[in-house]
Copies of this chain bind each other. A is one copy, B any other.
């Protein structure tokens, strides 16, 4: 274990975040917290419950999660996780504008920034990814690449690490990046123990990405 203090982790919530983008990494970290002290804050533009319902599909199903802090009252953090989901497309709405502004402002104080799926699309809007290697959801890859050509998008990657920025491919790749990050910070044995506990076949090779091929990128 390379960290002595409890790590302070935050996760950004906005309407239309993809449930598994958030709860894959959160479940890995909850399980880690049974043996290693850490804190998790759920940050949003207000303290109202935040839905996972896809805002582009009326009548689709969603669940509501309670934030612990607003962006304005966020505690100091060591690491921030940004999930994706179709909510990232609503760039003119205040919750997403607030999320973009918060990520841009807090990044210089973070030890780690982790994005899952189109969490990298939200983060690209801050400019933080300019000139950096990153990956994203493979179905949306070409569209995002066209929109942000100043980012060095990597097509065949389950996740990409560039400096202190960890970006994952779509949805369930959040579990893989979370376990890889736990291995980096707490060590391989701890990551293996958590993976066995949640019965996940840990991907060890960040290039092991069948979905680049499936989605033709």
Interface residues of chain A, those whose CB is within 8 Å of chain B, are 18-20, 22-24, 26-27, 29-30, 33-34, 37-40, 42, 49, 52-54, 57, 59-66, 137-139, 169-173, 175, 196-201, 210-211, 214-215
For residue A173, which residues in chain B have a CB less than 8 angstroms away from its CB?
Answer: 199
**CB atoms of B18 and A27 under 8 A apart:** yes
Nearest Cβ distance between residue A64 and chain B, in whole angstroms?
4
CB-CB under 8 A for A59 and B30, given A66-B49, A215-B196: no
Cα distance A139–B211 when bound, in Å?
A: 31
Chain A interface SS verdict (over half): loop
Closest 6 CB pairs of A and B: A20-B27, A23-B23, A170-B199, A171-B198, A64-B66, A33-B61
**CB atoms of B196 and A171 under 8 A apart:** no
CB-CB under 8 A for A30 and B214, given A172-B175, A172-B198: no
For residue A139, which residues in chain B have a CB less than 8 angstroms away from its CB?
Answer: 196-197
Give the residue name and chain of the B residue nearest to A137 (CB): B199
Give the residue name and chain of the B residue nearest to A176 (CB): B199
Residue in contact with A29 in the complex, picked from B49, B61, B138, B170, CB distance below 8 Å: B61
Cα distance A24–B25 when bound, in Å?
A: 12
Give the residue name and chain of the B residue nearest to A38 (CB): B61
